[in-house]
Structure 1
Amino acid sequence: MCPDHPEHTGHSYAPHKEDLLRRLRRIEGQVRGLQKMIEEDRYCVDILVQVSAVKSALHQVGLTILESHTRGCVADALANREQGDEKVDELMDVIRQFTRS
Protein backbone atom coordinates (compact mmCIF):
# COMPACT_ATOMS: atom_id res chain seq x y z
CA MET A 1 0.00 0.00 0.00
CA CYS A 2 1.27 3.44 -0.81
CA PRO A 3 1.31 5.41 2.45
CA ASP A 4 -0.17 8.47 0.75
CA HIS A 5 -2.95 6.51 -0.98
CA PRO A 6 -4.95 4.53 1.59
CA GLU A 7 -7.42 3.53 -1.13
CA HIS A 8 -4.82 1.13 -2.50
CA THR A 9 -5.43 -2.28 -1.04
CA GLY A 10 -2.03 -3.74 -1.93
CA HIS A 11 1.48 -2.86 -2.87
CA SER A 12 2.25 -1.95 -6.46
CA TYR A 13 4.51 -5.00 -6.71
CA ALA A 14 1.65 -7.36 -5.71
CA PRO A 15 1.26 -8.81 -9.25
CA HIS A 16 4.93 -9.85 -9.10
CA LYS A 17 4.93 -11.04 -5.49
CA GLU A 18 5.28 -14.77 -6.15
CA ASP A 19 8.04 -14.24 -8.72
CA LEU A 20 9.88 -11.89 -6.35
CA LEU A 21 9.61 -14.38 -3.49
CA ARG A 22 10.85 -17.18 -5.75
CA ARG A 23 13.81 -15.06 -6.82
CA LEU A 24 14.62 -14.11 -3.23
CA ARG A 25 14.54 -17.74 -2.13
CA ARG A 26 16.95 -18.55 -4.96
CA ILE A 27 19.21 -15.67 -3.86
CA GLU A 28 19.06 -16.95 -0.29
CA GLY A 29 20.31 -20.30 -1.57
CA GLN A 30 23.09 -18.59 -3.49
CA VAL A 31 24.19 -16.78 -0.33
CA ARG A 32 24.23 -20.04 1.61
CA GLY A 33 26.32 -21.46 -1.24
CA LEU A 34 28.76 -18.56 -0.82
CA GLN A 35 29.06 -19.29 2.88
CA LYS A 36 29.81 -22.93 2.10
CA MET A 37 32.39 -21.92 -0.52
CA ILE A 38 34.24 -19.86 2.08
CA GLU A 39 33.96 -22.61 4.69
CA GLU A 40 35.49 -24.99 2.13
CA ASP A 41 38.29 -22.54 1.27
CA ARG A 42 37.28 -22.37 -2.38
CA TYR A 43 39.22 -20.39 -4.97
CA CYS A 44 38.81 -16.61 -4.63
CA VAL A 45 37.77 -16.04 -8.23
CA ASP A 46 35.02 -18.66 -7.99
CA ILE A 47 33.67 -16.92 -4.88
CA LEU A 48 33.82 -13.51 -6.55
CA VAL A 49 31.90 -14.81 -9.57
CA GLN A 50 29.15 -16.02 -7.24
CA VAL A 51 29.13 -12.71 -5.33
CA SER A 52 28.61 -10.96 -8.66
CA ALA A 53 25.73 -13.31 -9.51
CA VAL A 54 24.04 -12.56 -6.17
CA LYS A 55 24.47 -8.82 -6.65
CA SER A 56 22.98 -9.05 -10.13
CA ALA A 57 20.02 -11.11 -8.92
CA LEU A 58 19.29 -8.65 -6.10
CA HIS A 59 19.58 -5.78 -8.55
CA GLN A 60 16.93 -7.39 -10.75
CA VAL A 61 14.59 -7.78 -7.77
CA GLY A 62 15.12 -4.11 -6.95
CA LEU A 63 14.45 -3.03 -10.53
CA THR A 64 11.20 -4.98 -10.59
CA ILE A 65 10.01 -3.30 -7.39
CA LEU A 66 11.23 0.10 -8.58
CA GLU A 67 9.33 -0.23 -11.84
CA SER A 68 6.18 -1.36 -10.04
CA HIS A 69 6.42 1.59 -7.66
CA THR A 70 6.91 4.02 -10.54
CA ARG A 71 4.01 2.63 -12.55
CA GLY A 72 1.82 2.36 -9.45
CA CYS A 73 2.27 4.89 -6.66
CA VAL A 74 4.13 7.54 -8.63
CA ALA A 75 1.90 7.35 -11.71
CA ASP A 76 -1.23 7.53 -9.53
CA ALA A 77 0.08 10.55 -7.66
CA LEU A 78 0.88 12.33 -10.93
CA ALA A 79 -2.44 11.40 -12.56
CA ASN A 80 -4.42 12.62 -9.56
CA ARG A 81 -2.17 15.64 -9.10
CA GLU A 82 -1.84 14.60 -5.46
CA GLN A 83 1.63 15.13 -4.10
CA GLY A 84 3.07 14.48 -7.56
CA ASP A 85 6.19 16.56 -6.97
CA GLU A 86 6.76 14.87 -3.62
CA LYS A 87 6.44 11.41 -5.20
CA VAL A 88 8.89 12.33 -7.97
CA ASP A 89 11.34 13.64 -5.36
CA GLU A 90 10.93 10.43 -3.36
CA LEU A 91 11.44 8.38 -6.53
CA MET A 92 14.60 10.26 -7.43
CA ASP A 93 15.96 9.77 -3.89
CA VAL A 94 15.35 6.03 -4.05
CA ILE A 95 16.89 5.82 -7.55
CA ARG A 96 19.99 7.61 -6.27
CA GLN A 97 20.22 5.22 -3.32
CA PHE A 98 19.52 2.17 -5.50
CA THR A 99 22.18 3.04 -8.09
CA ARG A 100 25.00 3.58 -5.57
CA SER A 101 27.67 0.96 -5.80
Structure 2
Amino acid sequence: MYVQEKTILNRLKRAEGQLRGVQKMVEDQKECIDVITQLSAIRSSVDRIIGVIVAENLKNCLENPEIDKENQSKKIEKAIEMIIKK
Protein backbone atom coordinates (compact mmCIF):
# COMPACT_ATOMS: atom_id res chain seq x y z
CA MET A 1 0.00 0.00 0.00
CA TYR A 2 1.50 3.32 -0.99
CA VAL A 3 1.43 6.46 1.16
CA GLN A 4 -1.42 8.18 -0.72
CA GLU A 5 -3.62 5.11 -0.33
CA LYS A 6 -2.96 5.06 3.42
CA THR A 7 -3.80 8.76 3.66
CA ILE A 8 -7.10 8.25 1.85
CA LEU A 9 -8.05 5.24 3.98
CA ASN A 10 -7.20 7.13 7.19
CA ARG A 11 -9.37 10.06 6.10
CA LEU A 12 -12.24 7.71 5.22
CA LYS A 13 -12.00 5.99 8.60
CA ARG A 14 -12.02 9.36 10.34
CA ALA A 15 -15.14 10.41 8.41
CA GLU A 16 -16.76 7.08 9.29
CA GLY A 17 -16.08 7.74 12.97
CA GLN A 18 -17.54 11.23 12.65
CA LEU A 19 -20.71 9.77 11.10
CA ARG A 20 -21.05 7.31 13.95
CA GLY A 21 -20.68 10.24 16.34
CA VAL A 22 -23.51 12.10 14.60
CA GLN A 23 -25.71 9.01 14.79
CA LYS A 24 -25.12 8.93 18.54
CA MET A 25 -25.87 12.64 18.78
CA VAL A 26 -29.22 12.09 17.03
CA GLU A 27 -30.03 9.12 19.29
CA ASP A 28 -29.18 11.28 22.32
CA GLN A 29 -31.36 14.08 20.90
CA LYS A 30 -28.54 16.64 20.88
CA GLU A 31 -29.18 20.19 19.74
CA CYS A 32 -29.89 20.60 16.03
CA ILE A 33 -27.09 23.17 15.58
CA ASP A 34 -24.54 20.74 17.06
CA VAL A 35 -25.62 17.97 14.68
CA ILE A 36 -25.51 20.35 11.71
CA THR A 37 -22.04 21.55 12.74
CA GLN A 38 -20.74 17.99 12.78
CA LEU A 39 -22.40 17.15 9.47
CA SER A 40 -20.75 20.21 7.91
CA ALA A 41 -17.38 19.01 9.20
CA ILE A 42 -18.02 15.59 7.67
CA ARG A 43 -18.95 17.17 4.34
CA SER A 44 -15.71 19.18 4.37
CA SER A 45 -13.75 16.04 5.17
CA VAL A 46 -15.35 14.12 2.30
CA ASP A 47 -14.70 17.04 -0.06
CA ARG A 48 -11.01 16.93 0.89
CA ILE A 49 -10.92 13.18 0.26
CA ILE A 50 -12.43 13.73 -3.18
CA GLY A 51 -9.83 16.42 -3.87
CA VAL A 52 -6.97 14.13 -2.88
CA ILE A 53 -8.24 11.31 -5.09
CA VAL A 54 -8.87 13.55 -8.12
CA ALA A 55 -5.50 15.29 -7.70
CA GLU A 56 -3.73 11.94 -7.52
CA ASN A 57 -5.53 10.77 -10.65
CA LEU A 58 -4.63 13.98 -12.49
CA LYS A 59 -1.01 13.68 -11.37
CA ASN A 60 -0.92 10.09 -12.63
CA CYS A 61 -2.33 11.19 -16.00
CA LEU A 62 0.38 13.82 -16.37
CA GLU A 63 3.25 11.62 -15.19
CA ASN A 64 2.15 8.58 -17.23
CA PRO A 65 0.55 9.91 -20.39
CA GLU A 66 -1.34 7.57 -22.66
CA ILE A 67 -0.23 7.00 -26.22
CA ASP A 68 -3.66 8.08 -27.44
CA LYS A 69 -3.53 11.88 -27.03
CA GLU A 70 -7.29 12.30 -27.39
CA ASN A 71 -7.99 9.80 -24.62
CA GLN A 72 -5.35 11.50 -22.46
CA SER A 73 -7.00 14.89 -23.00
CA LYS A 74 -10.41 13.47 -22.09
CA LYS A 75 -9.06 12.04 -18.85
CA ILE A 76 -7.46 15.33 -17.88
CA GLU A 77 -10.63 17.27 -18.76
CA LYS A 78 -12.72 14.88 -16.67
CA ALA A 79 -10.39 15.29 -13.68
CA ILE A 80 -10.56 19.08 -13.99
CA GLU A 81 -14.37 18.94 -14.23
CA MET A 82 -14.48 16.89 -11.04
CA ILE A 83 -12.36 19.46 -9.22
CA ILE A 84 -14.42 22.39 -10.46
CA LYS A 85 -17.78 20.62 -10.04
CA LYS A 86 -17.92 21.32 -6.34
TM-score (norm 1): 0.70
**More displaced, 84-93 or 59-68?**
84-93
Supply the AA of the counterpart residue of 1:87.
Answer: K
Pick the structure with more helix per residue.
2
The gaps in structure 2 that reach 5 residues or longer are none
RMSD: 2.2
Q: Which residue of 1 aligns with 2:43?
A: 55
1: distance between equivalents of 2:45 and 2:77? 26
TM alignment of 1:56-95, pairs within 5 A: 56-72=44-60, 74-75=61-62, 76-77=64-65, 80=67, 82=69, 83-95=71-83
What is the total number of aligned residue pairs between the two structures? 84
TM alignment of 1:1-101, pairs within 5 A: 14-72=2-60, 74-75=61-62, 76-77=64-65, 80=67, 82=69, 83-97=71-85, 99=86
Deviations 1:14-34 (A, max 9, x none): 431111111111110100010
Q: Which residue of 2 aligns with 1:4?
A: none
Q: Work out whether residues 77 and 87 of structure 1, in 8 Å CA contact, stay in contact via their aligned partners in 2.
A: no
The gaps in structure 1 that reach 5 residues or longer are 1-9
Q: Percent identity?
A: 27
- Which of structure 1's runs of 4+ aligned residues deviate more than 3 A? none
2: distance between equivalents of 1:65 and 1:92? 12
